[in-house]
Structures are given as C-alpha cells and as structure tokens.
Homo-oligomer: A and B are copies of this chain.
Amino acid sequence: MDTEPRTDYEALFATRAIPEGAPAMDLSHKGDGPPPIDFSYGLPDPKSFPVKELIEATDRVLEREGEQALQYGPTRGHDGLLQVLVDKLQREEGIATDKKNLMLTNGASQAIELLCHIFVNPGDTVIVEGPSFIGALDTMQRLGAIPVQVDLDDEGMRMDALASTLEQLERERRRPKFIYTMPNFHNPGAVTMPLSRRHELLGLAREHSVMIVEDDAYRELCYEGEPLPSLYELDQRGLVVRTGTFSKILAAGMRIGWVLGPARVLSKMLLFKFDTGTNHFACRVAAEYCREHLQSHIVRLRDIYREKRNAMLLALDEHVGEFARWTKPQGGFYVWMELADGVDASRLTLEARREGVAYLSGSRFYVGGGHENTIRLSFSYLSIEEINEGVRRLGKAIKASATH
C-alpha cells in the first residue's frame, strides 16, 4: 500500500501571472560555422578596460581597508564612491549635490527597478520613447507597468506627440507615473535632444505634474564637444530623477550604476534595496580607481569610440549607400538604420546570416513589435577591422535583399 501523500506539484509550482517582458540578451553563438561579426549588443570595447590600474587599485584598497571592503556596508552604497560622484557632478556639470540625493545601484537598471517598485501598481501607465531601451522596457513591463511609446525624430522625443499623449491620458484619467527618456545619444535611436527641446520637455512635465526619469548612461561618451546640460540640471525643482552608470566608462562587469534625485524619492527607493547595498568591494575598487584615473580614462575612451564611429559611418556610406538611411550619432554606442523601400527585412535576416553578420531588429525596441524595416547596429565592441568587414557584409546582404 502506498501511504505516501500525493503532492500536487503543478499547484506547488504555479507562479503568479507574470507579465510579458522583452526577450533576454543572448550573448551566445548557436549556429554552425564561424561566429558572425556581431553588431547586436552595446558591449564596451574589451581592449579599453584599465586592467593594470584596476589591479593597483584593488591591491591598495585591500591592503589599506580590507576589513571594511569585505564587510557589510551601507544600503545607499560606499560613501567614497558617492563622494566621487558628488565631486564629478560639481566639476563637470556645476551641479552642487549631496550624498542624500545619490545612491549606488546594481547597474543603472536597478534604479529603474526601484523606481517601478515605489511608483507602479500593476496596470499603471509610464511614458517611454519609441523606440526605447529593451532592458528598461522589460523591467517596467515585468513589474506591471504599461509603457506608452512616444515617437522619436532626429531631435529625440517628439514634443507634439508627447503633448497629445499627455492630453489623451488625461482624458482617459490615466495618470502616467513618469516619462522615461534618454536625451543624450539615445539607445537605440542614436539621436540627441537639443537644448530648446529639453526646456520644452520640462515645461510639459511641469504643466502635467509628471516626473521625468532621465537615463544618461552614455553622457560621458560624447564625440563632438561637450554634452548638453542634463534635464536634472535644467530643472532644479525636483522634477527629474537621473540615472547613470560606470558600465560604459569603467567596467560593465562591476555592475555599478547610480541614481541622482530628490531625497524623498531616494529614501523610498532604499526600502526596496533588499541586497543591503551594491557590492562594497567593487565600489571601493572603483572609487580608488576613479579618484586618480577616471577623467583621463574618459578622454581616452572618447578617442577610441569616436574613431570607431567614424569608421562605421564611412563604411556605411561606402557599402550601404542609398539602400538605407541612418543616424549620425554624436556619442554613445549605436547607429539606428531604416532600410529603404524595396529592401525586404525578412529576406535580410537570411542574407545577413549567410554573409556572417548580426544585428538587432529594430522591432525589439518597440512594445508590441512592428517597425521591421529598422535595425540597431552597435559599433562599440568590434575592432575597426571588424567594423569595416562587418559593414561590407551587411551592405552585401542588404543589396541582396532589395527587391527592385
């Protein structure tokens, strides 16, 4: 006789209804044959990592303050790295701020997550750009938000479209919890919002009493002059929460981001930072490195990525020409491309695979897809030689996909 109780495993593993999100980043190569030249992901240039200086910084930190670096620390994050940010914001942007307006996060993505935790009930509306960053869309959707997309043009989020979206939501009595925007070197749109439009955006946000979440991940990687003032700086009234990261300027593998905003918003975000603070060991190493080297390292990174961008744009002119139009990014990691009429995007998928080149379809950056005639190309990870060869392959694939 079987006296074992019958366990209902299906009931046991029944999760709650998890909202749909975006497909995850997949860095692995699956097919046969050699891996393609891959423009898919915005990975930093691996040759640019300051390995030697980070070894020195780690050694100094562990020798001098190992007992603190390896111990629990404050949930807001390591004080020394917060001070690095206070000093950097003052020096580079003239922003006088305070550690109570800052916290460290596990990549900038955790800042979006924490903002959703404190503001979003399931079904709440947030306004985002179309296209927008996959990771942010995924986070917002999984945590129950309904993102409403507002079109981009060559100067960023369209203000006429934003105004009519805000009015429409007001008529529907849907109060948007925030407007998520990337004014600099947009991912994936690769456009930058001019100063006048930044003021317009702030005006609309004030008028409709909506908070702005400003994602400024690529700010420092500016290849023409200096970046424009951030929305956070232009506002100065507590309307803007700004996120930043060390992933693009120091080491993505350290997963250190940060958020700058009103103290009363940050104090609530801290309630959901259950990990008791972002890796204090890595943050102390980062702080030690940054105090001595970050400024000159950023100058060097600008040179590295500017050269890649220039090579990318030259190669596109040569190999793609009139078969598509694309943005000329002033900074960041991406080119956004719209295929010409008559280029068959689904055929391009096959031709690109055959040629050995990969990219992300632009449809992934839109809630609900569509826009199949757009693609995102990242030039940050590849060498100049790979960029040239990759764009040559891409051009060949695009031309083979042209139906007339």
Instruction: Write the residues of chain A forming the contact surface with B, with a CB cutoff of 8 angstroms.
Output: 4-5, 7-9, 11-13, 15-16, 18, 21, 24-25, 27, 41, 43-44, 46-47, 49, 51, 54-55, 58-59, 62-63, 66-75, 106-107, 109-110, 112-113, 117-121, 124, 135, 138-139, 142, 175, 203, 206-207, 209-211, 237-239, 247, 251-255, 262, 264-265, 268, 270-272, 274-282, 284
A115 to chain B: closest residue by CB: B15
Measured CB to CB, the closest approach of chain B to A80, in angstroms, equals 13
* Contact status B279-A70, CB under 8 Å: no
Nearest CB of chain B from residue A334's CB, rounded to whole Å: 15
A277 touching B255 in the complex, CB below 8 Å, given contacts A27-B72, A63-B55: yes
Contacts of A46 in B (CB 8 A): 67-68, 70-71
A257 CA to B277 CA, complexed, in Å:
13
Neighbour of A69 across the interface among B63, B119, B253, CB < 8 A: B253
| A274-B113 contact in complex given A66-B51, A251-B70, A255-B280, C-beta closer than 8 Å | yes
Find chain B residues with CB under 8 A from A203 CB: 5
A382–chain B nearest beta-carbon distance, Å: 14
Would you call B59 and A59 a contact (CB within 8 A)?
Answer: yes
Given known contacts A16-B118, A63-B51, is B9 in contact with A238 (CB within 8 Å)? yes
Are A67 and B43 in contact (CB-based, < 8 A)? no
Instruction: Kindly state the separation between the CA atoms of A74 and B210 in the bound complex, as whole angstroms.
Output: 35
Tell me if B238 and A18 are in contact (CB < 8 A). no
B135 touches A262 (CB 8 A): no
Q: A66-B49, A142-B271, A252-B72 in contact; A7/B279 too (CB < 8 A)?
A: no
Please give me the residue from chain B that is nearest to A106 by CB atom. B275
**Which of B7, B43, B253, B274 contacts A135 (CB under 8 A)?**
B274
Are the CB atoms of B54 and A62 closer together than 8 Å? yes
CB of A315, distance to nearest CB on chain B (Å): 24
Assess whether A239 is in contact with B7, with CB atoms less than 8 Å apart: yes
New A-B contacts (19) at CB < 8 Å, excluding given A7-B209, A73-B253: A7-B207, A7-B239, A9-B238, A11-B209, A12-B211, A18-B268, A27-B72, A27-B73, A46-B70, A49-B66, A51-B62, A55-B58, A55-B62, A70-B252, A107-B275, A138-B274, A253-B280, A255-B278, A279-B279
Contacts of A264 in B (CB 8 A): 13
| Complex CA distance for A72 and B321, rounded to whole angstroms | 33
Question: Does B281 lie within 8 Å of A107, measured CB to CB?
Answer: no
Residues of B within 8 A of A16 (CB): 118-121, 124
Looking across the interface, which residue of chain B has its beta carbon closest to that of A144? B16
Please give, as numbers and ranges, the residues of chain B lying within 8 Å of A271 by CB-CB distance.
Answer: 18, 21, 142
